[in-house]
Amino acid sequence: MPIDYDKLMNWPFPELEHSYTERDTMLYALGVGCGHDPLDAADLRHVYEDGLQALPTMAVVLGYPGFWLKDPETGVDWRKVLHGEQGLVLHRPLPPSGTVIGRSRVTEIVDKGEGKGALLFSERDVVDKASGEVLCTVTSTTFMRGEGGFGGPSGPTPAPHAMPNGDPELVLDLPTLPQAALIYRLSGDTNPLHADPKVARAVGFDRPILHGLATYGVAGRAVLRACCGNDPARLKRLDVRFSAPVYPGETIRTEIWLDGETVSFRCRAVERDTVILNNGLAVIAG
């Protein structure tokens, strides 16, 4: 049965209040690989309470409405849903603890045609409850296989960020732990695909894969370290397109091109020489 465009466009997301502690901030950072070298001072500021700073990409787990497309009322076959793109605009640094309000909405659904699926665009403002200030805006593109042909708009769709020609100017390798997915899931994404070998095999993987948003967090760490002097206040935007899965324990290589405040990047799994994140765009403050 075709999905109902108007119903999804007006999906009734409740405002979600989310309180988090310094422990949660440190746990998120551990989940995206901080502390692999416990003597690294740049990482220590994200996993140790003395002068603790939140990683900017922790925004993706704050005020998160959960896997709402699994609700039968959406009419979507959640088993065919893929995370296509992720973006983040940071208006101010995230506090290491606090209470936020997540305000989610669907912004558009694009019908790619019968047999070609559909794209669902959504965004979420993360608002500091105490001040009312918007801390950041999280954006996501979801590819819904098999849901095309419902009669919705056929476009336009945003073009991916164009990657520069030539060799990258900076390259940074960051390892992931074999247990990385088991740590990251404690920040809120408990999809068994990332923990249960039986579930992973059932959908075609030989073992559990790392969360896409954990990979996104590793990419954010690389940009923060290579381009921002590891100062979270300097990262203003981070957009990526997911292109292949990552297995826990693999090394993620981030290749970076600089153009003033604009940073282009992509990531690959070194052991398989496979591009896993592409068309990466970051904006940094001087």
pLDDT tens, residue by residue, 232-286: 999 999 999 999 999 999 999 999 999 999 999 999 999 999 999 999 999 999 7
From 189, 206, 211, 273, the catalytic residue:
189
**What is the band of 78 on the pLDDT scale with cuts at 50, 70, 90?**
confident
Please spell the DSSP secondary structure of 31-89, one letter per residue.
HTTTTSSTT-HHHHTTTSSTT----GGGGGGTT---SGGGSGGG---GGGEEEEEEEEE
Give dist(CA 141, CA 164) in Å, integer: 23
In this structure, are residues 240 and 278 in contact, taking their beta carbons and an 8 Å threshold?
A: yes
Please determine, for residue 191, whether its predicted confidence score (pLDDT) is greater than 90. Answer: no
pLDDT at 85 over 90: yes
Decide if pLDDT at 141 tops 90. yes
Q: Can you list the positions of beta strands (E) in 156-202?
A: 170-175
pLDDT of 210 > 80? The answer is yes
Does the annotation mark 46 as catalytic?
no
Q: Quick check: is 189 catalytic?
A: yes
Is residue 58 over pLDDT 90?
A: yes
Given the residues 24, 194, 211, 239, select the one marked as catalytic: 194
Enter the tokens of residue 93. 């640094």
Provide the 3-class DSSP secondary structure of residue 112: coil
